[in-house]
Structure 1
Amino acid sequence: WIRGTATGLRRIYHARHPAAGTIASDRPAVLARLIDAPLDESALALRLLDFLPHPLSRRPVWRGVHETGAGYGLALPVAAPGTAAVPGPTEHRWWEPPPGELPLAEGARKVGDAVAASVRAHVGGLDRISCELSGGLDSTALAFAARDTGPAELSLLTVAARDRYSEDETWARRAVEAAGGTAGTGGGHGAAPALDHHLIPAADAPYFYADLASTAAELNDEPLPVAPGRARAALLLGRARATGSRYHLTGYGGDEIFLGLPHAYQDLFHGNPFTAWSHLGGLRHQLGWPLLPTVKALLDRSAFPRWLAGAVTAAPQPVARTPLLSWGVRQSLHPWLTGHATALIAEEFRTAAEHAEPIDPWRGRHVDIDGVRMGARHFQAMEDIGMTIGLPVAAPFYDDRILEATLAVRLPERISPWRYKPLLVEAMRGVVPDALLARTTKDHMASDEHQGLREHAPELTELWTGSRLAEHGLVDSRQLLRLAAEPFSPVLVEHSISSTVAGETWLRTAENAWPAPQLTP
């Protein structure tokens, strides 16, 4: 009996070996190597989408390798003596989302306890640790929780932003000042840890799409859209390791766990329509949603299979003012995908829709949990970079206990159009100073991505010259070469190229993952 996590951060794969029977691993590449599995072209085509919804996210990119669903365990039967064959493995559900019944105050206490327990599980007892301190609420919360485990030395790392309107650095400095001025409360040291704040100049931070060849250092479980930012992540983790840190914490997962998505108001509308409409009113004015399309989306009752069948389209991207209240994000196919790729993708969605069941019968909970699992998958790339550098890296927010404690809180108190991450704010009250919990803004790095397309146009040109994806008939390399020469093309404003870059670099890594067998005497 073997299982991963409900958040999908730890996943289980299995395959049939001709001599050994069913074998299982937490890494599909291991199984693919052992059974000499070929690549699955359809699964590779799916990874060229920006978002891969449940259940298609469970399609490994090697044929004959199968992923066990998050929240399910894998039972591996053993043959009785004298029997001819071992029966196949079976999946059993071990996790169900808790009902959202707790008031904010009680739920916040449970979330605060879960955050503290998760951080202690990672770094409790270690003398030298580090945290990414972007200045945002998530990383600030973890920095103070890590301080309270009582390490002898705590290094906080902030990457300065090129955008002069960015507020992250200012908030990070405030957090360091507050953390250094108050004694630690846990871990047994009895005093505040020695605090080091390392501010990495913006000029040192690579743009996105820098050093794409470095992705060859890790063979992720699948192409992950975070690959274009690998050089930025490697810089931060390399600086953290240089401080002598033995373990590094990041705030990844905080948005997926605590931010909440508009889809949740579909759930609330069933039991409390007045509250749902009041909250939607605030959200509608913030996002510019027109009244009639919002009402239509709110009253829509289409089943999950029907939504899944139409979740990808050749039509242009939906406009930003389109109400988001369905089972997920409807996305457009990128124009550089070939007819072969679009046919494979369409067939995969059609086939999956025939038997698809949602993660949860309620739309909002389904989307919330699917979003957490998508983010947890992407974080694997950061873990693998840490392994390459020699520094364990963790995202404590992806702990099952934190997800459960969050989902257990009443929906209208967990998310709000008028408050930023109210559950996390209340959970960290008393741990993080109130002045830091008052932040309601969040910086973005869109300019670094667009500038990266220009700065690294030669590398992208080289990537699409002799493209492996093109050899598989999945992308039009001539169109990608044209876009590399036109980094500010409107096409690249409407369509992100990240997933395609990730697919190309991953495919090259997978082809060269193992050395050719050498004959030995």
Structure 2
Amino acid sequence: MRWSAGWYGGSARSRAPRDGTPVPVLEPVWTVDWPADCVRTVGDGSAELTVIGACGADDEQLWRALPTVRSRDWRTLTTWPGSYLVFARCGEVLAVIGDLSGQHPVYWRPERSGVWWSTSATALAALDGAPTDTASLAARMALAQPDVLGTRSLFRTVNRVPTGHLLLITPDSVTAARYEPVEPEGVDLRQAAPTVRDALTTAVHARLGDQPVSADLAGLDSTTLACLAAQRSSVAAVTFADERLRDDDVLYAARTAATVPRLSYRSVPGGPRTVYYDGLEDVRSLPVTDEPNAFVVTATIKRAVLDAVSERRAGGVHFTGAGGDAVLSAPSSYLSDLLRSGRRLRAWQHAQAHARLRRMSPLTVLRRARPASRTTLAETWQQLAAVLRRPPRPWVPQAQQPVTWTPLLATADWMAPDVRHQLAVELDTAAADRTDAPSSLTAWSDQQDLARVGANTNGWREIALTEYGVVLAAPFLDNEVIRACLAVPADQRAAPGRYKPLLSTAFTGTGILPDFVLNRVTKGGFNALAYAGLRANAGILRELIGPSSRLAAAGLITDAPVADMLARAASGLPTAQGALHLAVSTEVWLRQLDTSAHIWWEVNTHAAAA
């Protein structure tokens, strides 16, 4: 696993990351498994700057950024294309800046003589064997919004930098300081479209070089990236084409490859094992990740795609449309914001369109949206705390429940009473401590969706890199792409009757994407493979998250409701799939913590010699 770490303090530490490479000028800072060309440092004595990852700034741009470091304009250091970590120092002030999607998370833990920081919470916990934090795990499973508990990580004594914040360390303090506005300023869709096109084009082209290039070719998002890459490079495109999906991805992919120069195409047929939840009988066969990761559920499907890529070209960069849905669309919860702002006519017009798609009445759509329009984020958490103090609820599909700032997932109703009570206490505390909550439900939801998608994409990236030597690129999760897209109000991004209007407006008439792609209104789904996997692997899942699981031992699940949900799934009945994904991925991660022989630290020979 690629990670970075550093020490800020008055004395040298006796430990260093195992197999770590010291970063020139900035010792004691180390990187682990990062190639040399992904770690670049500039400095003039009064200021130092390091970027770690896929950063589109050239060396001259980094040198020109040193005055920015001296002026402590931290946000400007996050506006280059790519996905990267920033480490900046001016005098005794140090800033460690991750990204807006959680692909480069930042954690810290204080000690008497200084502060350790790292992009791996697990590594910091391994310094003294810090245990997992049950309340944080409960929040992650029940709420699936990473920032609810603020700076709490999944380990005790290890702190997490929330989304949109940076780690700021001085001789007197260590804090998570906000660098991104709580809410973006609104920009009309047509005005924002050229900015989105430029940001996305730059993000793709910055990752191209002499290495082989491959890409997913399925929905509108991944097709856009493949076509952008094909402007400058030959692209080996692949489409997962399991006949159980019954979508038209293959038809569009073949037509696109026949139209766009330098874009070759291959479909990847599914098989008995390319289903959800396959291959979980041995968690050692899965890559170790720093937190529970949703891609363990679909690992065999991802491997099938990467197998096809590797058969055609070894190594290189592979583009995925991950994050596209999060930045180009908006959940129907934006209707709550329209009601909150008094835009009732627009809310009614949009509700009518949503009702036609879902075959329900517009009044039903608005009734679901109205409660959230009358509450704040903190009030929602207080309400959730009250719910958790009562007996578990009967299961109702999420799509039938009222819209809310923070949905309470079915996993909350699987937990033991004492864990539910503990989570309720944490939510009350979080509600009292929250001082910078957005006024818009959509702004909050967008941030949380991106943080979740980015963290999960790291799991897919780990499979691609460790097993295939392929670097996964997700340009929709780049900072500037996120900023350009989310500046467009949600009711314009989710305009009824148009599919992803921001992307189609940005690229219509440019000749980059064929018109038939931009006019596409269909989207594939994986529900069939989810239910096939639930049926085929029912026994393995029953053992994995049954009474002998780590989750059960911690009170994070109880047997009866989980057994009932698995039985529903095996029978093909509607199931809380998201909740099952969370439970399975968390159990796999906990078992890996117990069984992994990974050694994070070694003796720091330089400090020992001193």
Q: Same fold (TM over 0.5)?
A: yes
How far apart, CA to CA, are the structure 1 residues paired with 2:101 and 2:246?
Answer: 34
Contact persistence 1:467–1:477 (CA under 8 A): no
CA change 1:40–1:117 in 2 (3 A) is same
What is the CA deviation profile of residues 350-382 of structure 1, one whole-angstrom value per residue up to 9, with x for unaligned ones?
Answer: 322222346522222222222222221221211
- Aligned equivalent of 2:201: 116
For residue 481 of structure 1, report the CA deviation from its aligned partner. Answer: 5.9
For residue 37 of structure 1, report the CA deviation from its aligned partner. Answer: 1.2
For residue 59 of structure 1, report the CA deviation from its aligned partner. Answer: 3.2
How far apart, CA to CA, are the structure 1 residues paired with 2:243 and 2:250?
Answer: 11
Match of 2:375 among 299, 302, 305: 302
How far apart, CA to CA, are the structure 2 residues paired with 1:333 and 1:451?
Answer: 21
- Aligned equivalent of 2:51: none
Match of 1:203 among 267, 271, 274: 271
Structure 2 residue matching 1:61: 3-state secondary structure: coil
CA change 1:251–1:296 in 2 (3 A) is closer
How far apart, CA to CA, are the structure 1 residues paired with 2:602 and 2:293?
Answer: 35
1:455-474 map, 5 Å: 455-463=536-544, 464=546, 466-474=548-556
Task: Report the more deviating stretch, 292-301 or 415-424.
Answer: 292-301
For residue 201 of structure 1, report the CA deviation from its aligned partner. Answer: 1.0
| AA aligned opposite 2:258 | E
1:253 aligns with 2:347: no
How far apart, CA to CA, are the structure 2 residues paired with 1:518 and 1:395?
Answer: 30
Contact persistence 1:336–1:480 (CA under 8 A): yes
CA change 1:369–1:476 in 2 (3 A) is closer
1:95 aligns with 2:180: yes
For residue 25 of structure 1, report the CA deviation from its aligned partner. Answer: 0.8
For residue 491 of structure 1, report the CA deviation from its aligned partner. Answer: 7.6
Match of 1:29 among 104, 122, 127: 122
What is the CA deviation profile of residues 281-312 of structure 1, one whole-angstrom value per residue up to 9, with x for unaligned ones?
Answer: 22233332551672584374212111122346
CA change 1:51–1:16 in 2 (3 A) is same
- Aligned equivalent of 1:362: 440
Contact persistence 1:376–1:398 (CA under 8 A): yes
How far apart, CA to CA, are the structure 1 residues paired with 2:118 and 2:226?
Answer: 33
Contact persistence 2:333–2:369 (CA under 8 A): no
Structure 2 residue matching 1:74: 3-state secondary structure: strand
1:2-401 map, 5 Å: 2-17=96-111, 21-49=114-142, 51-52=144-145, 54-56=147-149, 59-78=152-171, 87-96=172-181, 99-121=184-206, 123-134=207-218, 136-148=219-231, 150-151=232-233, 153-163=234-244, 165-180=246-261, 193=262, 195-203=263-271, 206-213=274-281, 215-216=283-284, 217-242=286-311, 243-269=313-339, 270=341, 272-287=343-358, 288-289=360-361, 291=363, 294=366, 297-298=369-370, 300-311=373-384, 314-318=392-396, 322=400, 325-333=403-411, 336-357=414-435, 359-389=437-467, 390-401=469-480
1:418 aligns with 2:474: no
CA change 1:502–1:26 in 2 (3 A) is same
CA change 1:519–1:143 in 2 (3 A) is closer
How far apart, CA to CA, are the structure 2 residues paired with 1:490 and 1:310?
Answer: 33
Contact persistence 1:213–1:505 (CA under 8 A): no
Contact persistence 1:289–1:321 (CA under 8 A): no
For residue 485 of structure 1, report the CA deviation from its aligned partner. Answer: 6.6
How far apart, CA to CA, are the structure 2 residues paired with 1:172 and 1:233?
Answer: 18
Task: Report the more deviating stretch, 42-51 or 447-456.
Answer: 42-51
How far apart, CA to CA, are the structure 1 residues paired with 2:282 and 2:513?
Answer: 37
| AA aligned opposite 1:208 | Y
Contact persistence 2:139–2:423 (CA under 8 A): yes
**Percent sequence identity over aligned pairs:** 26
TM-score by length of 2: 0.74
What is the CA deviation profile of residues 404-456 of structure 1, one whole-angstrom value per residue up to 9, with x for unaligned ones?
Answer: 11122344433211111100111122221111111111121112111111212
Structure 1 residue matching 2:294: 3-state secondary structure: coil
Structure 1 residue matching 2:156: 3-state secondary structure: coil
Structure 2 residue matching 1:440: 3-state secondary structure: coil
Contact persistence 2:151–2:160 (CA under 8 A): yes
Structure 2 residue matching 1:157: 3-state secondary structure: strand
| AA aligned opposite 1:315 | R
Contact persistence 2:367–2:402 (CA under 8 A): no
For residue 210 of structure 1, report the CA deviation from its aligned partner. Answer: 0.6
CA change 1:296–1:342 in 2 (3 A) is closer
Task: Report the more deviating stretch, 53-62 or 411-420.
Answer: 53-62
Contact persistence 1:215–1:227 (CA under 8 A): no
How far apart, CA to CA, are the structure 2 residues paired with 1:515 and 1:320?
Answer: 38
| AA aligned opposite 2:156 | R
How far apart, CA to CA, are the structure 1 residues paired with 2:602 and 2:96?
Answer: 36
| AA aligned opposite 1:77 | T
How far apart, CA to CA, are the structure 1 residues paired with 2:267 and 2:435?
Answer: 47
For residue 97 of structure 1, report the CA deviation from its aligned partner. Answer: 5.7
What is the CA deviation profile of residues 120-178 of structure 1, one whole-angstrom value per residue up to 9, with x for unaligned ones?
Answer: 22x222341110112x1111111101112x12x31111111232632111111122112
Match of 2:524 among 443, 459, 473: 443
CA change 1:310–1:106 in 2 (3 A) is same
How far apart, CA to CA, are the structure 2 residues paired with 1:341 and 1:375?
Answer: 26
How far apart, CA to CA, are the structure 1 residues paired with 2:145 and 2:336?
Answer: 22
Structure 2 residue matching 1:102: 3-state secondary structure: coil
| AA aligned opposite 1:254 | G
What is the CA deviation profile of residues 497-517 of structure 1, one whole-angstrom value per residue up to 9, with x for unaligned ones?
Answer: 221111111101011233689
Task: Report the more deviating stretch, 460-469 or 367-376.
Answer: 460-469
CA change 1:211–1:56 in 2 (3 A) is same
How far apart, CA to CA, are the structure 2 residues paired with 1:350 and 1:118?
Answer: 41
For residue 483 of structure 1, report the CA deviation from its aligned partner. Answer: 6.1
What is the CA deviation profile of residues 17-62 of structure 1, one whole-angstrom value per residue up to 9, with x for unaligned ones?
Answer: 45x5211111111111123211212222333336236323753211
CA change 1:461–1:93 in 2 (3 A) is closer
How far apart, CA to CA, are the structure 1 residues paired with 2:399 and 2:134?
Answer: 35
Structure 2 residue matching 1:197: 3-state secondary structure: strand
Task: Report the more deviating stretch, 413-422 or 367-376.
Answer: 367-376
CA change 1:53–1:92 in 2 (3 A) is closer
| AA aligned opposite 1:12 | V
How far apart, CA to CA, are the structure 2 residues paired with 1:106 and 1:72?
Answer: 28
Contact persistence 1:8–1:70 (CA under 8 A): yes
Contact persistence 1:143–1:156 (CA under 8 A): yes
Between the two proteins, the alignment pairs up a number of residues equal to 494
What is the CA deviation profile of residues 447-473 of structure 1, one whole-angstrom value per residue up to 9, with x for unaligned ones?
Answer: 211111121223224423732222333
Contact persistence 1:316–1:332 (CA under 8 A): no
5+ residue gaps in structure 2?
A: 1-94, 604-610
| AA aligned opposite 1:407 | L
TM-score by length of 1: 0.86
